[in-house]
Structure formats: structure tokens, C-alpha cells
Amino acid sequence: MTTTPTGTESATARRAVGTAHPRVEGYEKVTGTARYAGEIPFVDLAHGALVLSTVAHGRIVSVDEAGALRMPGVLAVLHHGNAPRIETEYVGFLGAPDPTTAVFQHDRVPTRGWPVALVVAETPEQAAEAAASLEVTYREEPHDTAFRPDHPDAYYPGSTIVGPPVSERGDQSAALAASAFVVDELYETAEMHHSAMEPHAATARWNGGRLEIVDSNQGTVWVASELAKLFSLDLSAIRVRSEHVGGGFGSKGCRAHQVAAVMATTQLRRPVRVVMTRRQTFSLAGHRAPTAQRVRLGADAGGRLLALDHESLNQTATGYEWVEPAALPARTMYNAQAHRTAHRLVRLNVPSPTAMRAPGEAPGSFALESAMDELAERCGIDPVELRVRNDTQVAPGSGKPFTARRLVGCLREGARRFGWEQRTPRSGSTREGRWLIGTGVACASFSARAMPTTAAITAHPDGTYTVHVNAADIGTGARTALTLVAADELGTDTAHVRVRLGDSDLGPAGIAGGSTGTRSWAWAVNLAARELRERLALGADIPPQGITVRSDTTEAVKALGHHERHSFGAQFAEVAVDPDTGEVRVRRMLGVFAAGQIVNPLTARNQLVGGMTWGISMALHEEAVRDARTGGHYSPDLAGYHVAANADVPRVEAYWIDDPDPEDPVGIKGIGEIGTVGAAAAVTNAVWHATGVRQRSLPVRPDRVLAGGAGPTGA
Amino acid sequence: MREFGYRRASDVAGAVALLDADPEARFLGGGTNLVDLMKTGVERPAQLVDVRALPLDGIEVSESGAARIGATVTNSDLAVHSEIRRRWPALAQAVLAGASGQLRNMATVGGNLLQRTRCGYFADVSGPCNKRVPGSGCPAVEGEHHNHAILDATDHCVSVHPSDMGVALAAFDAVVEYETAAGTGELPLADFYLPVGDTPHLETALPPGALITAVTLPPAPVAAHSRYRKVRERASYAFALGSLTAALEVREGTVADVRLAWGAVASRPWRARAAEEVLLGAPAAAATFAAAADAELAAARPLTHNAWKVTLLRNLTVAVLSELAADATGPAADRAAGPAAGPATGPAGGETR
């Protein structure tokens, strides 16, 4: 692993940043003393269990509230007939609120797994039993849950979370006609689920006139502000805490469980906890929409792109528009005189999709980087070389220059470390026993953004410091990273720094999302620490209550220059394919990333390797299967929805090259998502190299490999 | 989850008596399947009778090469037993191919045989399933059945038995010993599981209230040359898409003895007797292996989306028998799997999901 000291301007006595540091809360986590939202004790706690619809479309005719109330321990049954009305006409952090979250407001059921009631009881078991036996009758209506590339109801949406749905420049047909080589293929990705190890859990109670939520989320102010709008409360009347979070990946914002818990605690006047079951997370917590992506590439004889057209279709819910921005990578990665990206949607009776780790970039890079690999094959050019030839120093989408684009450096360094030059270009040419062996490459990019954040640091008389920043450590190691950033800027040892986070009373801060968390929070911590250090340098005595300095990066973030800021990376994979059984196993993976200043190499490696593992999982395993007739998921649990197991993740190496962001005081770009981007394509490109057969639909299941026929031994 | 009672039995007679007294009671072994099913409401016992403390945790292997494996032996203990590994390597391999280390530490031999299908419709109490609610219908026939049965399934149920261990036991002619309030009894594994017919909810021939006490294996020298191969899209912690136990003895290029059983193809571990008939006395060559697989698969009745499993089982059978034949003739000898026995591609009309 390479870590190079950076030359950024605030490089005071930099010792901690860039040095491996174990998680500061690691002891608590591995010994089980770190408490998660669903296990924090409350006096007089009642337990709520959500009841989900068993039809995919229709209306609720009746809810047998009385029957449930006769069951042991049952305290209340909330449903559309008795729940308080809440406000849903507002614009929140991700736009209009997901209607799945605004529970029990009407009798309409738009999808199977829609929340229709909450049963509250004295114990979780009583609540679950009463919820399971609650009689709800429906009037069913026809439903459509079958996502398909040629769905007649596909349409162009008005906007996406990342800008206009369509970008277009140049004449596609002319450029394609002028091309020596053309690729025109359809790529498909599956419906995927975040599957955080810790399912969603929230406890709500009223305490001294304030609403308190103990939760597991990716941003306490995010959740607090959504709840404030839904329940028409002042933001200051809500406190949301979320100390330890067992994974989020985009799914842990404001969801049905928090809203239902607030309704129940308001009615019962005692604390109420609502925990989603694993199965419930499949319809209540969002998902990565399946995509069908058509990529057309045209290149001259030397492999230089003349035409690029990337159009993606994804499913969304009937009452909620989520554009999976899969054509986005093309706006960053490769230029062409005719350049087009477009997104379409189709509304189905499915639960609401949402952001999932590397939204857009993960499925989009699979399609684009697969197509680039196919182009390399057709041109007879090495896939690394083809990508180098198509490097660009201005973003194709905006025409703006990059602050830094070290993609070629990543490709060259990755190729060197991976041993790419020993590769035989021909597919199906390497066999070891029953396995066909292949290698593949793909590129990665992810935007580097920052969100306004406030922080406060207190210097105590004993020489220690407390950092207050409303960060969310969702398992990323943010708490540790912020400790290192603060220690360096304060000129003290990390042992003298405590970080308090995960509490909306700490003030506004960016969320753990979009790879912006650590960058946004570190910025504010850095500013406060710098000012505090200057104050302390004056030599004043520290009073018992300490000296506190506050920071707010709102203006600084606004003032960021109008460049294209991205991380880049190159992914390499070696796979083995058994042509008799269709089994695909990854043998090794290697990624090289240019992703800003790396704060903590230990947890950074964790993030990058974890992201690459997600890519393996996306390429080979993850697929939520839906029964078209019932509209429901088939086997929505971790036995049926497979993620990569340890045995699927062999040697995975992550390296980084020097790439500090010149506009960030710590040089950070953010590394939460870049590791996932391109990883699936590296794997599938390697499958092609092993077998000679392109796999354009994910996951690459054994039956798909067998159906494709495989390699030189194929009959 | 229904409230339930819990009793721990200390002797077999007591355990059987407890179950006899309460038709809504269930035996609890490792609980690795039953407890999951209780959480989702598929199983709703009034009482659990924990049999883990019963003195049924021994493995005895006789001089003659027969084995008696106690019903509460854990999968972990079975897999590491030196005589089992020496005389029935495929059995140890099959056990190790199942579940995870933690689950194998809990799961028992008796429970393994009685585990339920992992069909997603069986697990979903909000929908129909003939195995769970007799007469309610089988949604898998027209729905998701990508990994469902290709042999001996009916319109009433197309689910597969999930056991890996059972596939090896089927190949090695295991016999199941049990005890009821009326006394002891035994069932060859071949008769242990009932055909699906129109009663998929009736899974075994065990009398009501019976407690499995042991599984016995007769002497089988051929079993020492055996192998278990499990195909799955994930390298561990996944049920088989198709699996196979094969034992092969080759004398002068001819199959002198053979055992063959398949997993994940039917509602029970599938002893491939038609294939064995083709193999016995035939040349130990790839063409024979393919013909044997085809003979067994002649009875296959795949659905719309699982025809690929026919290809899979054929390829798997040829591949593993070829490996065993090559082992038997030594590494220097020509490998039996020539190009003639190469894998077939997807069967015509075999749509993928």
C-alpha cells in the first residue's frame, strides 16, 4: 500500500493523518459493549411491529383492529383509519418525500410490502405475533411489477438528483457512420438491496416536551428535519441520536419505522421501538433499481471514440420517482464528438428505489466499462491502452476541466502491480484443471463533493480536547478519521482527542452519503481546530468549562471553484470459470485509486476493499427476484438474497496514488463509493477473457454461463 | 412468533413420551432450521423437546467397515471423524460443503435429514404452498423455479431437498433408526422420504412422534474412493444448485463398483440407480459417464426456467466420474474426460430467469 505525504498548505506537524490507526471505538465493537439502536434499554418500552401489504396493488377494505387488541400484550393498532394525518407536501433532502415513509395516510396500496399497520405490544414477540395474525382485507387491482428493457410505459423524467436526465452534443448517426468500429449492446443489472448488517431500528419518546429518537441512520439532522416536516414540528423540538450504525449504504434516512414509532409514542405516551425485520427491509428501506442500459460506441481505427451514447432505463415506484443515474459515468469518463447520455424511467408496482452505494456509477460503470472492453476486443487494442487513448482532461458532460484526473496513473500503476503485461490477449486461452482463467480491467470515477457542516472543539484544562461534530460513523471509521484530523491540526496526540458525533443537538452537518461525509466533517473540524490552536497560542489559562471554538463551512463550501472534482480508479480482476458447471470464482482483485488525501490507511483500505467486494457481489451474486404474479419478492432474506461470502473474496488489494484535493484543507476527496465503481465490470470482463463469451446481464449466474456456452471445450 | 414451551429431554424414552403426549410438540436438535421457521411463522409448535442432551452423540465404526452415527452427532463432529473421512470421504466432504462453521457446530445428523426445503414460497407465509398449507397450490410451478426440481416433481410441489449430507447417505445405502412410544424401527434412506405425489406435506415415512436415534452405513469398500461436489453460485454458505456424490472402483478399465447420488434435483436426495446400471461393468470412459447421466436424466421433467439443471447434472456427473477414474488409474494415465464428453450448452428452449 502506498501513502505519500501530501504537500497541502495546512501541513502543520502532520503525524496522525496518513498513519494507520485502529478504530477508536474498536474495543467496544468487538466486545459487544457498543450499543446499537435496537438494544439500548428504556424504562416502560413498548414494541411496535409493522404489518405490510400482501397485495401488490389495491385498496385496504378493513383492518381487524379489535381482533388484534384482544391478543396478549397488545396496546395499540395504528392504521390508515386511525393514524394522525401528517404533512407530505414538502421538499426534503432527496426531494419529495418517499410516500412509503408517510405511513397510514390513506387506503391505497401501490406495492406489495407497503406498510399498512403498526401493532404495538408490551414485548417484541407479542407485537410480532399480533402483527402476523392481524387480518387486513384488500380489494385487489391489476399490478405490473415486471421490469423489462422494452416496457411500453418508459418515459423521460423531468430531472434527476444529479442534473438533467439527458445530455446531448454532436451528431450520433454521423459519428457512428464515420466509425471504423462500433459497439451497440444492451446491458442489464439486477434489483439490489443494501442489506446492512444492522437492520433499521428506532425508539421514539417524548421527553420534556421534545421528541427524542434513538436511531440508526446516516445523518441525524437529515432524519430530524424530515420528521419535523412530516409532523409539523419545529426542528429544535426534535433530537435524533445515532451513535453506532451497522451499515447504511444509502438506505438509512427517514423511513417508515421512525414515523410509525413517533405516531405510536405520541398516542401511548411511552417509549416505542420499531425494528424492521430483514424481510421488511426489502420493501421499506429502498433498493437499487434494476437497469437496462443501451451503450453505443463508435471509434476510429485507432480506438479513439467518435460516438458515445449511453441510455439507461430503470424501474421506479408508481408514486415516487427515482432516477438511477447510470449514464452519469459517461459524462465524466470518456469524450467523443457525438456524446449523449440519457435516463428513462418506468413506473411499476414496486417499492421505492433509492440511492445505494455508488448510485448510478455502480450499474452505469458496469455497462460503460463492459462496452469499452468490447470495443477494445473489436479494435484489437489492449483494454488498458484503449482507455489511456480515450483519456480526457475536460469533462465531456460539462466541458469543464478537472481539478485533477489521475486515471492514467491509476491504470499504469494497476497494470504494473497486477502483472497485466503477461496477459494473453486472446480469450479462452488459459486453463488450469477444470477452470478457465481470465483477467479483466475497468475504470472508476466518483464525484468529490462537500456538504456544509458545523463543528465545535473544546480545549479542556487537562490538555485534552472534545470535538463536537454531528458526523455519522456508519462503519466507515469516520470517528477515527476525525480524531486524526483534529489531533494534527491541534498539534496534539490522538489520545487527547475525544469525538462526539451522531446527535442532532450537535448542530447541522453533512450526511454520511455521496462519499462526502468525512470530507465535509473534517473540513469543519479542521477549521475549528486551527482557530482553537491560534487562540491557545496566545497563552491564556483554560477555565474549568474549557475554551470552545465553533466553525461553519457553509460559505467555504459555497465558494468552491467550478471545476469538475472526481476521484478516479482502475480495477483489475482475475477469475476462474468452470465451463462444466458455470461457476465463476474471483481469484484476485487489485484496485488503484486517485482519491484525495487518505486520512487513515487502515480504514481506507477497509472502505476500498469493501467497495471492491461489493463489485464482486454485484457481478456474481446479488439479485432480488420478484414473482410477477404476486408482485412480491421471492425469498427476501439473506438466505435467498446472496451477497459475497468470505470464500468469494480472495486476495483483494487496494492501493492509492498521491492525489490531494487542492481545494480541501485536508486534501480529502472521499472514498466511500469509488471502490465499488467499475469492480463488477472488471470481473465480467475477466469472465469474457476466460470463456470468450460476453456476459451482459448481472449477476453472472451459473445458468447464464452454461447458456452462453463456454470457451474452447464447449461442445 | 407463537409462544411455546421448552423441555429438555434426558433420555430417549422420555423424549418420545413428551412428544407422544403433545401433538403440537416438535423435537429440537441444533435448531438451525426449525428456529428460523418459527421466527417466520412457518412452524408454530406449542412445545419444543430439546434432544441435544440425549446420549446419541457417538460414532462407531466396526471392524467390518460399518458405521453407526448417533442422531445428535453434530455436523462438525461427523465431518472430522477420522474413520468417516477414510472410509466415506464423500460424506465428510458433503457435510463440510453445507452451511457455515457456526451452523455445523449446532446442526445434528437427525435434524439434517428432517430439515425442510428452502423454497422461497414455502418460507413465505403470506402466500400459498402445498407443503405448508395442503391444497393451497404451488406458486413455483408458474413462478420462480430456477433452482427447483427436475426429477420426480409433480404439479403439487417442485421443491428440492436441501441436504448435502443426505446425498452422500443416499449413495452409501444409509439406514435410519428411530424410536417411538411403541418401540424401535428402521427405514432405509431409499424409503425414508416419500414421493411427492399429491401430498407434498407428507415428507417422510417416519411414524408420528418418532425420534431418529441413529443412521447406519453398511460396509462399502467403494466408498473409500468417493467424492462430493456441490455447485453453487457462491463459494460457501449456499444451498446447492446441483450436487453429486460419486464412488467409483475401476478394475482394468472397467467399472467394478459404483455409487451415484444427486442433490438439489428432487424432493429427496436422489440415488441415480439408472446411471449406476449403465456404469456397472462398462468401460470407465467419458462416453460411458455421459451415457449414464443421460440414462438417469431421461426421466427429467424440467420446468420453463430450470432446464439448465439437466445440463448441469450431466456435466457434473461426467466431470466427477472422470476425476475419480483418473485417480483410480493414477495421475500419469490419460484423463478419462476427453473432448467427446465436453459440456453441453444450454438445452434448447431452456430459458433463463
B319–A710: do the CB atoms touch at under 8 Å? no
Q: What is the pLDDT of residue A13?
A: 53
CA–CA distance, A90 with A93 (Å, rounded to integer): 10
Q: What is the pLDDT of residue A14?
A: 62
CB B198 within 8 A of CB B156: yes
Contacts of A683 in chain B (CB under 8 A): none
Residues of B contacting chain A (CB within 8 angstroms): 1-3, 40-41, 118, 120-121, 123-127, 139, 142-144, 146, 231-238, 241-242, 308, 311-312, 315-316, 318-319, 339, 342-346, 350, 352-353
pLDDT band at B206 (very low <50, low <70, confident <90, very high): very high
Instruction: List pLDDT tens digits, range A10-27.
Output: 444 568 999 999 999 999
Nearest by CB to residue A714, choosing from B143, B236, B342, is B342
Please check whether residue A575 lies inside any domain of the structure.
no
Which has the closest alpha carbon to A305: A332, A329, A339, A328? A339
CATH number at residue B326: 3.30.390.50
- pLDDT higher than 50, residue A694: yes
CATH number at residue B11: 3.30.43.10
The partner residues of A96 in beta bridges, in order of sequence, read none
CB A239 within 8 A of CB A224: yes
Q: How many domains does chain B have?
A: 2
Q: How many domains does chain A have?
A: 1
Provide the domain limits for residue A485.
Answer: 26-34+452-558
Q: What is the pLDDT of residue A10?
A: 45
Spatial neighbors of A66 by CB under 8 A, at least 6 apart, are none
A701–B352: do the CB atoms touch at under 8 Å? yes
Please check whether residue A440 lies inside any domain of the structure.
no
Please tell me which residue of chain B has the smallest CA distance to A129: B1
Please check whether residue B138 lies inside any domain of the structure.
no
B2–A714: do the CB atoms touch at under 8 Å? no
Nearest by CB to residue A627, choosing from B144, B242, B346, is B144
Kindly tell me the burial class for residue A75, based on how many C-beta atoms sit within 10 Å of its own C-beta (0-12, 13-18, 19 or more).
buried
B312–A434: do the CB atoms touch at under 8 Å? no
CA–CA distance, B160 with B145 (Å, rounded to integer): 10
A704–B318: do the CB atoms touch at under 8 Å? no
Select the residue from A625, A703, A705 to test the B interface by mutation, using most B Cβ atoms within 10 A: A703
Which has the closest alpha carbon to B98: B205, B272, A585, B106? B106
Please check whether residue B276 lies inside any domain of the structure.
yes
Select the residue from B116, B117, B124 to test the A interface by mutation, using most A Cβ atoms within 10 A: B124
Please check whether residue A499 lies inside any domain of the structure.
yes
B235–A647: do the CB atoms touch at under 8 Å? yes
Nearest by CB to residue A648, choosing from B125, B235, B353, is B235
A132 touches chain B (CB under 8 A): yes
pLDDT band at B330 (very low <50, low <70, confident <90, very high): low
Spatial neighbors of A497 by CB under 8 A, at least 6 apart, are A464, A465, A466, A467, A483, A486, A487, A490
Distances (CA, A) of A535 to A541, A549, B269, B311: 11, 9, 76, 75
Which of the residues of A are catalytic?
673
Provide the domain limits for residue B48.
Answer: 5-53
Bigger pLDDT: A540 vs A61: A61
Contacts of A140 in chain B (CB under 8 A): none
- How many beta-carbon contacts under 8 Å exist across A and B? 127
Please check whether residue B40 lies inside any domain of the structure.
yes
Please check whether residue A464 lies inside any domain of the structure.
yes
Partner B, chain A 44-63, Cβ-Cβ below 8 Å: 54
Please check whether residue B22 lies inside any domain of the structure.
yes
A706–B346: do the CB atoms touch at under 8 Å? yes
CATH number at residue A546: 3.30.365.10
B1–A715: do the CB atoms touch at under 8 Å? no
- pLDDT higher than 50, residue A715: no
pLDDT band at A162 (very low <50, low <70, confident <90, very high): confident
A637 touches chain B (CB under 8 A): yes
Of A300-304, A466-470, A556-560, least confident by mean pLDDT is A556-560
- Residue B149: phi, psi to the nearest 5? -70, 145
pLDDT band at A540 (very low <50, low <70, confident <90, very high): confident
Mean pLDDT computed over A547-563 = 94
Mean pLDDT score of chain A, rounded to an integer? 95
CA A490 to chain centre: 32
Mean pLDDT computed over A246-250 = 97
Q: What is the pLDDT of residue A3?
A: 40
A703–B346: do the CB atoms touch at under 8 Å? yes
B234–A699: do the CB atoms touch at under 8 Å? no
Please check whether residue B9 lies inside any domain of the structure.
yes
Instruction: List pLDDT tens digits, range B331-353.
Output: 443 433 333 333 444 333 334 34
Based on its alpha-carbon atoms, the radius of gyration of chain B, rounded to whole angstroms, reads 20
Q: Measure A621 CA to nearest chain B CA, in Å.
A: 7
Mean pLDDT computed over A86-105 = 92
- pLDDT higher than 60, residue A6: no
Please tell me which residue of chain A has the smallest CA distance to B40: A132
Please check whether residue A459 lies inside any domain of the structure.
yes
Helices of type H across A502-553: 517-537
CA A373 to chain centre: 25
Please check whether residue A675 lies inside any domain of the structure.
no
Please check whether residue B243 lies inside any domain of the structure.
yes
ipTM score: 0.93
**What is the share, in percent, of chain B residues with pLDDT greater than 70?**
93
Q: Measure A578 CA to nearest chain B CA, in Å.
A: 10
Grid cell at residue A573: 480482476
CB A202 within 8 A of CB A40: no
Please tell me which residue of chain A has the smallest CA distance to B147: A703
Q: What is the pLDDT of residue A275?
A: 98
A125–B3: do the CB atoms touch at under 8 Å? yes
pLDDT band at A562 (very low <50, low <70, confident <90, very high): confident
Q: What is the pLDDT of residue A93?
A: 82
Q: How many residues does chain A have?
A: 715
Q: What is the pLDDT of residue A516?
A: 96
Contacts of B124 in chain A (CB under 8 A): 632, 635
pLDDT band at A69 (very low <50, low <70, confident <90, very high): very high
Q: What is the pLDDT of residue A159?
A: 87
Please check whether residue A476 lies inside any domain of the structure.
yes
Nearest by CB to residue A581, choosing from B3, B238, B315, is B315
A434 touches chain B (CB under 8 A): yes
